A = this chain, B = another copy of it.
Amino acid sequence: MTTRLAMLIAAAVAAGSAQAGMDEDARGVGLYGDLWRPDPVHEYWDPGAYHRPETEAVEGVFTGAECVECHADVTPGIVNGWRDSRHAAPGDGAEPVTCAACHGADHRALRFPTPTDCGACHGEQHEQMLDERRYGFPSHALAMERAVDTKHFVDKPKPEVTACLACHSVATKCDSCHTRHRFDAAEARRPEACLTCHSGPPHPDDETYFDSAHGRRYLAEGGTWDWSKPLVKGNYPVPSCAYCHMREGRHQVADKAIWKFGLRDVNPRTAENTVKRRRWIAVCTDCHGESESVAWLRALDNERKRAWRLLDEAEDLLRDLRADDLLYPAAGERPPYPVDWWERFWPRARIGFHEGQASAFYNVSGIERRYFEMWYFESLGAYKAAAHGADAQVAAGHADLRRALDDIRREAEALRELTAAERAAGKRVDPAPLWRAGAYTDLNRERN
């Protein structure tokens, strides 16, 4: 045994210079896949699309016992994880689920499991996740395709969209939420399972949950609770993410979402939302009185109504500037998305989400970018704070929204004055050469 082990390790070391298995000339997946290239790490975020087995790996076809024997020395952490899992000891006389079940047995043709692989055994959960697609985006099930199929994905600087896919991979692999190789539901019930992705702008779920009374109590005492219990009322003093968003462990988080992540100004009282409101209140009343639950949901409605009033005012300011041709660069002076080649001839400036402006970080005027950030950062932050009961952050978020509106109002006035002065002096510059072909545009698109 020792000899064989040593041989395998030697082989592994010899392979030290091996590159990632992904094809060197791999192209992106999705609608615009011809226009961008994946980074090496994408292989691990979307294994179904990019993973290629390592042809220089140790050769052989192994049983689970053989895998474990060798990897207990090479990578003991994952073997320990598996040994602690139900896969190793399913009970009821069932056979253990060993390495080959998920990775294959041929060491030069190993794969990383996709949700479909996991769904072969865990069909109910997989079905539930896929069911989210009915509710549209944002949802976990559509996270990857709606990311790479957006036009700005092709256009945005690579480091940002690459990093975005790390979390959007929740749609293409199950270990975004579940620890490999232990896969214990007790882990996934805790907030940390969700927060590797759900933190920071534009979705500070981490920061707002932990600042709430719920989160504080979890932080102080959660380490001592018995997380093997199911997520039903009476089992936990306060809810974790999954308690409210994955009712009784259901792998579908979309059927309770009224405000759509805070992205849209919705009517919270549509027929569909009235049904969702009942689901929402039903969660709260596991612990709270119904009147109190209703009052908090109305507080969220009020927060959104007030936020959108500010956003609408900012958007109106921008539309007025556009109408008076004061945006710089204007549509037609900046590059259209590569995929919107016809906009070279019929340029169209989009302002705000409803006109289809899903991203305005780049190649837009400063004031448009400021508005985009007001919507995507300040407003979404305030929304999450209100939804999670982090009131100090609601206050801070609305102060920030006001500051953004102030900035935009002042900038709009300055633009009016500046342009008037420039026109009077006859020295208005055509920005098109700078934006459409300059260093900035080139930099954005380079190596996508």
Q: Does A139 contact B (CB under 8 A)?
A: no
A-B CB contact pairs (8 Å), 8 listed:
A20-B294, A41-B295, A44-B292, A75-B287, A166-B392, A190-B220, A199-B211, A200-B211
Q: Is the CB of A199 within 8 A of B366?
A: no
Q: Does A123 contact B (CB under 8 A)?
A: no
Q: Does A428 contact B (CB under 8 A)?
A: no
Q: Is the CB of A221 within 8 A of B295?
A: no
Q: Is the CB of B199 within 8 A of A392?
A: yes
Q: How many copies does the complex hold?
A: 3
Q: Is the CB of A443 within 8 A of B309?
A: yes
> Considering the complex, which residues of chain A in the window 1-44 have a beta carbon less than 8 Å from any beta carbon of chain B?
12, 15-16, 18-22, 39-41, 43-44
Q: Does A299 contact B (CB under 8 A)?
A: yes
> Considering the complex, which residues of chain A in the window 202-259 have a beta carbon less than 8 Å from any beta carbon of chain B?
206, 211-213, 216-217, 219-221, 223-224, 233-234, 236-237
Number of residues from A at the complex interface, CB < 8 A: 101
A406 to B310, CA, bound (A): 25
- Which stretch (A93-101, A124-132, A278-286, A349-357) binds chain B? A278-286
> Considering the complex, which residues of chain A in the window 417-444 have a beta carbon less than 8 Å from any beta carbon of chain B?
439-440, 443
A63 to chain B, nearest CB (A): 20
9 additional A-B residue pairs with CB within 8 Å, beyond A159-B394, A179-B237, A187-B220: A16-B278, A22-B295, A41-B296, A43-B295, A81-B237, A163-B394, A182-B237, A200-B393, A310-B443
A28 to B267, CA, bound (A): 28
Q: Is the CB of B159 within 8 A of A306?
A: yes
A398 to B158, CA, bound (A): 9
Q: Is the CB of A19 within 8 A of B294?
A: yes
Chain B residues with CB under 8 Å of A286's CB are: 75, 77
Q: Is the CB of B366 within 8 A of A41?
A: no
- A18-B290 contact in complex given A220-B190, A233-B77, A234-B76, C-beta closer than 8 Å: yes
- 7 closest Cβ contacts across the A-B interface? A76-B234, A166-B391, A163-B395, A163-B394, A40-B295, A192-B220, A159-B398
Per a CB cutoff under 8 Å, which of B21, B77, B410 touches A366? Answer: B410
Per a CB cutoff under 8 Å, which of B76, B196, B212, B221 touches A196? Answer: B212
Chain B residues with CB under 8 Å of A396's CB are: 200-201
Q: Is the CB of A302 within 8 A of B78?
A: no
Residue of B nearest to A200 (CB): B392
Contact code string A125-164 (vs B, CB < 8 Å = 1, else 0): 0000000000000000000000000000000011111111
Residue of B nearest to A191 (CB): B220
Q: Is the CB of A402 within 8 A of B291?
A: no
